[in-house]
Chains A and B, each alone.
Chain A
């Protein structure tokens, strides 16, 4: 999903339209894909610098950043630490305090001495020094994507991001799919009527449980795109807090070909298909149950069985040893700015920090000014 400030829309006479990507943006899409490919093995910081350069190609920077956000879903980042970065720093700084490190020779001498003592190569020690920083994570893998698909995935994400600001949704569809109705019920107050085609109206409070609503809408939209024959209209409150409501309309006939869900969410469509063989369990120390279940096309209960040695925090599965690490890192999180806490969790390899925070008994106080958003601790709901 795109952050609110990257949503590109046109508003006119009470109607809101997303500014979709089209074939004229293929060249930019190609460039961004190749920037990612060229940066495999580099750090996140280097990748971001290269992507910033692309903001000067003459396109709307929000669009460039939006495409980059979609591409991030295709990346796997990992830490480059061979030894604990904290230990590496402590040892190196202590050694370097004895001398003044000015020349390359001084530097090499200190590095070699400490590396020998720690039983690693000088190169590994150097790589480990700040490997716990977000910007120092290595782009280990990048899943290739066709530029046309990137544009469609962007359009899908843009649509979804706008729909998360909705408070009412009207859907007319021809296919029979009970899941769609189920999703409508989960979204809020839902009325369904049938007269040849099915008409579903769902209403909800636009500010409550946005992350959860987004995942439901993502599933709904993906399911609709896989079936066809639908029209959707929504009352969207945008920007957040403005109180202004706009009408947003979209149909399979007009926009269906412009949109494509990312691979991550395509999995759920296969849910009804027979399972042939046991799935390989994806690696990871922190698992978002809903997201991973969707990705693998299995139920949440099945997913939990796959990771039964993990601690279940309610929506998040986490390795026991990682839990200690995360709790330690969050010790002083209450009242910190959200961005700083997100950074801490991302440094620990947590891709999506907010559900993890919530699962651990923290909440986010959303402010209009992003920099003012804070994390606070609420009374624990579970015994965890």
Chain B
């Protein structure tokens, strides 16, 4: 493509950068060795806009992707989904859409793909999610969808890639797409994934998430790489209408006398050490400093191990397991997801109650089989640690039990989201079991406060 004007600027894509020969470009840094200007691929859209505005003559050799065929899906958006898409459109096909799990973020993205009809890359955090996206796109658009990741490297007009693969192959794939959709976009600010935002030319960008990070650093990073929040809705905005009605119940359970003794002993050792050394833990940073100290101070290490042991007791207590049994016994017909923080507890419950377990160690084929049987109703319960926290499509669970988790509100919202898909007459429930009188109560409070 050649555009008319006086001096010819030639734009090319080189390993995640836009290289301009023949004249300067916005965000471009001059490289004397190659007598050219280099800008991050992220700036491609702005560069083109600038050159067009200034009636500059240029030759664009950047995009080398495939033409997208005409798409027709027959997808009909709900009112709020339509509003989200329209807001994204108004923002110049840029920005973040924040919708709760089960609210149909995928559908909004698919409609955007259909509308723009450009070569598109969808970036997802896990292989399971990549498969789900691919199947959905192929089914609705009736075309073959490319896959990059998990051993595949097939690029097509519409391609799904994992964050890992998209990042590793950014230098080679960065100029193949005009629209990029980041599913679970809160992963993008991570150091190794930021490269995707920087090294892909896609001038149109959409970020999807159920929970946006609160820290300023991540937000600024997302704004720079994808755009500002263009539409946001919380679980409570949709509960009862587009999402299932739900209740959250926190049950404080006591430790067994033996566990209580072990917990007290461990925590006292830890606190005693802090007291003796005059160490105050007021923030995550203080705690990090303490942990670093354990590398060179055996007594500090003993204190840390004692604290960890005490927390293990609180998070994985036997009374929680007993309570879980009662809960399941009194709700035998409820499809139930049991969440824990540690795999050890997952396997303990699986062995004790013969509940199928899914962890990162579960082979993919077996994981798919468990989820399939769960969907069919052949399994009524699954116990898992963190792998089902986000993304995986588990359509009709109605009871989530959190036996243990982190203090992250994101994890809490995502676990809640697992049971929120709307079904006729469904009343979703999330029950969290917390060890009474232990540090776990603070963790629980933190995650619920959000």
Closest to B347 in A: A130
Q: Is the CB of B360 within 8 A of A334?
A: no
Question: How many Å lie between the Cα of A329 and that of B363 in the bound state?
Answer: 8
Whole-angstrom distance between the Cβ of A372 and the nearest chain B Cβ? 6
Structural contact, A335 and B165, CB atoms closer than 8 A: yes
Q: Does B369 contact A (CB under 8 A)?
A: yes
Interfacial residues of chain B within 125-170, with CB under 8 A of chain A in the complex: 127, 149-151, 162, 164-165, 168
User: Could you give, for residues 372-410 of chain B, a 1 whenever the CB lies within 8 Å of some chain A CB and a 0 otherwise?
Assistant: 010000111100000000000000000000000000000
Cα–Cα, bound, A83→B329 (Å) = 30
A332 interface neighbour in B151, B328, B370, B373, Cβ under 8 Å? B151
CB distance from A337 to the nearest CB of B (A): 8
Report which of A107, A134, A329, A377 forms a contact with B354, defined as CB distance below 8 A.
Answer: A107
B227 within 8 A of A: no
Residue contact A59 to B366, C-beta cutoff 8 Å: no
Whether A107 contacts B301 by the Cβ 8 Å rule is: no
Of chain B, the residue at the smallest CB distance from A60 is B298
The answer to whether A61 touches B301 (Cβ under 8 A) is yes
On chain B, the residues within 8 Å of A61 by CB distance are 298, 301
The docked-state distance in angstroms from the alpha carbon of A331 to that of B329 is 39
A301 CB–B CB distance under 8 Å: no
Interchain CA distance A58-B149 in the complex, whole Å: 45
* Closest B residue to A96 using CB positions: B354
Q: Say if the beta carbon of B78 comes within 8 Å of chain A.
A: no
Given A133-B347, A335-B168, A340-B360: A102 touches B353 (CB 8 Å cut-off): yes
| B347 adjacent to A101 (CB under 8 Å) | no
Nearest CB on A from B263, distance (A): 17
Decide if A334 touches B150 in the complex (CB within 8 Å).
yes
Looking at the complex, which one of B149, B347, B378 makes contact with A97 (CB distance below 8 Å)?
A: B378
B328's contact among A93, A100, A347, by CB below 8 Å, is which? A100
Q: In the complex, are the beta carbons of B378 and A335 less than 8 A apart?
A: no
Measured between alpha carbons, how far is A377 from B306 in the docked complex, in Å? 42
B355 contacts the other chain (CB 8 A): yes
The chain A residue sitting closest to B380, CB to CB, is A97
Residues of A contacting B149 with CB < 8 Å?
A: 334-335
**Across the interface, do B361 and A343 meet the contact criterion of CB distance under 8 Å?**
yes
A58 to B353, Cβ gap below 8 A? no
In the complex, are the beta carbons of B328 and A97 less than 8 A apart? Answer: no
Quick check: is A90 within 8 A (CB to CB) of the other chain? yes
Which chain B positions have C-beta within 8 A of A134? 361
A89 located at the interface, meaning its Cβ lies under 8 Å from any Cβ of chain B in the complex: yes
- Decide yes or no whether A146 CB sits under 8 A from chain B: no
**A374 close to chain B: CB less than 8 A:** yes
**B213 near A: Cβ within 8 Å?**
no
Question: Separation in Å of the A241 CB from the closest CB of chain B?
Answer: 15
Is B203 at the interface (CB under 8 A from chain A)?
Answer: no
User: Which residues on A sit within 8 Å (CB–CB) of B442?
Assistant: none
Residues in chain B near residue A107, CB distance under 8 A: 352-354
Which residues of the other chain, B, contact A94 by a CB distance below 8 angstroms?
A: 373, 378-379
Does A299 sit at the interface, judged by CB under 8 A? no
* Contact yes or no, A332 B364, CB < 8 A: yes
CB pair B328 A102 closer than 8 Å: yes
Q: Is the CB of B361 within 8 A of A58?
A: no
A133 and B150 contact, Cβ closer than 8 Å, known pairs A97-B379, A374-B164, A374-B168 = no
Q: Are B192 and A90 in contact (CB under 8 A)?
A: no
A287 to chain B, nearest CB (A): 24
Encode contact with A along B337-365: 1 for CB under 8 Å, 0 otherwise: 00000000001001111111000110110
Residues of chain A with a CB closer than 8 A to B301's CB: 55-56, 61
| Any A CB within 8 A of the CB of B172 | no
User: A90–B301 Cα gap in the complex (Å)?
Assistant: 42
Q: How far is it, in angstroms, between the C-alpha of A93 and the C-alpha of B366 when the chains are bound?
A: 12
Q: Counting chain A CB atoms within 10 Å of each CB, which of B301, B361, B369 scores highest?
A: B361
| Chain B 176-202 per-residue mask, 1 if CB under 8 angstroms from chain A, else 0 | 000000000000000010000000000
Q: Does A246 contact B (CB under 8 A)?
A: no
For the complex, give the distance between the alpha carbons of A94 and B377 in Å. 11
* Alpha-carbon gap, A374 to B193, bound state (A): 13
Q: In the complex, what residues of B have CB within 8 A of residue A377's CB?
A: 151
A265 CB–B CB distance under 8 Å: no
Question: What is the bound-complex CA distance between A376 and B149, given in angstroms?
Answer: 9
Residues of B within 8 A of A334 (CB): 149-151
B87 interfacial contact with A, CB 8 Å: no
Does chain B have a CB within 8 A of A86?
yes
* B15 contacts chain A at the CB level, 8 A cutoff: no
In the complex, which of the residues B305, B306, B325, B379 contacts A93, with contact meaning CB atoms closer than 8 Å? B379
**A332→B150 CA distance, assembly (Å):** 4
Assess A110 versus B354: contact at CB under 8 Å? Given A55-B301, A335-B165. yes
Task: Return the chain B residue nearest A58 by Cβ.
Answer: B298
Q: Is the CB of B356 within 8 A of A93?
A: yes
Q: Is A92 on the interface with B (CB-CB < 8 A)?
A: yes
A82 to B151, CA, bound (A): 32
A298 within 8 A of B: no
Q: Report if A177 contacts B (CB, 8 A).
A: no
Q: How far is the CB of B291 from chain A (nearest CB, A)?
A: 12
A129 touches B (CB below 8 Å): yes
Complex Cα–Cα for A329 and B149 (A): 16
| Interface contact A376-B168, CB-CB below 8 Å | yes
Given contact pairs A97-B379, A101-B352, enumerate 18 new A-B contacts (beta carbons under 8 Å). Answer: A55-B305, A56-B302, A56-B305, A86-B366, A89-B356, A95-B354, A96-B353, A97-B373, A102-B328, A130-B347, A133-B347, A133-B361, A331-B150, A333-B151, A334-B151, A335-B164, A335-B168, A372-B192
Binding site for A on B (CB under 8 A): 127, 149-151, 162, 164-165, 168, 192, 298, 301-302, 305-306, 325, 328-329, 332, 347, 350-356, 360-361, 363-364, 366, 369-370, 373, 378-381
- Provide a sorted-by-A list of 13 A–B residue pairs whose CB atoms are within 8 angstroms: A61-B298, A86-B363, A93-B356, A96-B354, A96-B355, A100-B353, A110-B354, A126-B351, A130-B351, A333-B151, A335-B162, A347-B361, A365-B168
